[in-house]
Amino acid sequence: MRWTFVNNDFAGEGRSVIQTNDLAIQRGYAVFDYFRTINNQPLFLDDYLDRFFNSAKELSISIPHPQAAVKEIISQLIKKNNIPQSGIRMIATGGYAPDNYTPVQGNFILQQQPLALPDSIQFEQGIKIMTYAYQRDLPAVKSTNYVMGIWLQKRLKEKGLDDVLYFQNNIISEFPRANIFMVTPQGQLVTPAHNILAGVTRKKTLAFAGGILPAETRDISLTELKQAAEVFMTSTTKRILPVTEIDGIRIGNGKAGALTRQLREQFIRLGESVTGSAHSPS
């Protein structure tokens, strides 16, 4: 049996109850975050907890446990489930609002599931994407509002593409579930500075990338992106994954670039150093 945690109790998956008048159901009003475990060790947990609690604060959502207590509950969940390579989702809802509109004491949920990362074949192939003019509401908040990203799934499938990159006024921002980086023809690493969710993988990549190549955050035009030497996405579930085609335009030689490859290896080593795990060939 796989365990979940809701508010104050552990329960078998599918056996917990949330009332239908929660703002998460009535208005789609909730925040969440998601992190990985490696060999039952959470990766960069403090970063994810900080972002989760900051998102809740921005949306006036009250989490019924302090951050230190949530960390301990997560430890208990990991022990109970024993899923060494997994993803854990933290959710805080808007709660049972009497007027169906004003956030009150929220419901707190933890879920854990096995997680498979992109393998070496997927990395070498990279992904093909399209762009779409859209700006997420409150981009610095990790809310459960993925209406546009989900709505665009049908179009992506019809075009045989893997993901969509948002832009506004010719300035790119982010994927629905990932950040974007590019390597310029001059060998500089750049990622958008504004109107994005500050990803934890993005943060770690920026922290170590300076030892490999110059790195900065700034606005990036769609035109500049399509002329990049290399492009890749970063996220919890994808780590670092090359983007080889944008709107039908091939990036670089259409394969994973040398710097993208080097940054991915460095990120994997960073994860190993944090969790004390052995190198994964994927």
Taking a C-beta distance cutoff of 8 angstroms, is the pair 17, 67 a contact?
Answer: no
Q: How many of the other CB atoms lie within 10 Å of CB of 167?
A: 20
Taking a C-beta distance cutoff of 8 angstroms, is the pair 36, 112 a contact?
Answer: no
Confidence at residue 275, expressed as pLDDT on a 0 to 100 scale: 86
Confidence at residue 279, expressed as pLDDT on a 0 to 100 scale: 52
Non-local CB neighbours of 99 within 8 Å, separated by 6+ positions: none
- Between the alpha carbon of residue 79 and those of residues 57, 220, 248, the distances in Å are 29, 43, 46
Q: What would the two tokens of residue 121 be? A: 């074949």
Residue with tokens 């078998």: 12
Whole-model pTM: value is 0.95
Domain range 120-275, CATH architecture: Alpha-Beta Barrel (3.20)
Non-local CB neighbours of 245 within 8 Å, separated by 6+ positions: 126, 128, 129, 251, 254
Taking a C-beta distance cutoff of 8 angstroms, is the pair 195, 173 a contact?
Answer: yes
Non-local CB neighbours of 68 within 8 Å, separated by 6+ positions: none
Q: What would the two tokens of residue 150 be? A: 């989900």
According to DSSP, the residues that pair with 239 across neighbouring strands are 235
Instruction: Give the C-alpha separation, 243 to 255, whole Å.
Output: 8
Taking a C-beta distance cutoff of 8 angstroms, is the pair 144, 31 a contact?
Answer: yes
Q: What would the two tokens of residue 101 be? A: 């509109």
Instruction: Give the C-alpha separation, 24 to 6, whole Å.
Output: 14
Confidence at residue 281, expressed as pLDDT on a 0 to 100 scale: 45
Element housing 239 (H / E): strand 239-246
Collapsed DSSP state (helix, strand, coil) of residue 155:
helix
Low pLDDT (below 50) residues in the chain: 280-282
Instruction: Give the C-alpha separation, 78 to 82, whole Å.
Output: 6
16-61 pLDDT, tens digit each: 889 999 999 999 999 999 999 999 999 999 999 999 999 999 999 9
3-state DSSP of 49-78: HHHHHHHHHHCCCECCCCHHHHHHHHHHHH
When the candidates are 3.90.1170.50, 3.40.50.720, 3.30.470.10, 3.40.30.10, the CATH number that belongs to 3-114 is 3.30.470.10
Nearest to 143 by CA among 79, 222, 197, 223: 197
Q: What would the two tokens of residue 14 be? A: 């599918």
252-266 pLDDT, tens digit each: 999 999 999 999 999
**Secondary structure percentages of the chain, helix, strand, coil, to 5:** 30, 30, 40
Domain ranges of the chain: 3-114, 120-275
